[in-house]
A and B are shown apart, each in its own frame.
Chain A
């Protein structure tokens, strides 16, 4: 069974801190890597879809990098704000043309 591993499981930072977390995935037969943001009592919201080794994506204070050869992606949040508090999920398709397998997420809590 192919798995997506995310670390840490949870993280608590102070407002203004920068932080990052990791998504590890099988590096063989890579197709795409997705990042989602999931706030409590809401539905997951897409952040990035990354497909090429070395890809870097940015959305405001959030950015992500991708290393398909070693099978990991990093998500960075610069100057964390309380509204960044959420669970961040990564996911990948096991094969081309299949649905996504999700990791268990990293839950971020930002204190003001």
Chain B
């Protein structure tokens, strides 16, 4: 069983569309994250969720909104997609924050045309 899974793996869409990326973890972790891998392959934190509560929002555009229906899921909704949103988005989870190992999903490759 995959520990952290993301769907879809690839997403090609038009500018202006709204899309969602789903993330699920079966590790029983309390904290989930979304990272964006930019064009220089740099991993940058977007959001953290701990026990269904948003605790960090790293000044990403408000077109991006994380939604957590339960502790095992953290979905990423993106409204009015822009060309610059094209990137690889990674979901991760950990038992807690800071000192805990993070387990990453396989990534979702988003291309906005």
Contact = CB atoms under 8 A, between A and B. Distances in A.
Contacts of B41: 87, 104-105
A104 B40 contact: yes
Contacts of A32: 98-99
Nearest to B42: A104
Name A's interface SS.
Answer: loop
Contacts of B90: 43-44
A111 interface: no
Interface in B78-103: 90, 96-103
A97 B97 CA distance: 5
Contact of B106 (A34, A42, A93): A42
Name B's interface SS.
Answer: loop
Given A97-B97, A97-B98, A102 B56 contact: no
B64 to A, nearest CB: 15
A105 B55 CA distance: 26
B97 A98 contact: yes
Given A42-B106, A43-B104, A43-B105, A49 B99 contact: yes
A95 B100 CA distance: 13
B98 A93 contact: yes
A89 B58 CA distance: 20
A40 B101 CA distance: 20
Contacts of A99: 33, 45, 48, 56, 58, 97
Interface string A46-89: 10010100000000000000000000000000000000000101
Interface of B: 4, 33, 40-45, 48, 55-56, 58, 90, 96-107
Interface of A: 31-32, 34, 42-46, 49, 51, 87, 89, 93, 95-102, 104-105
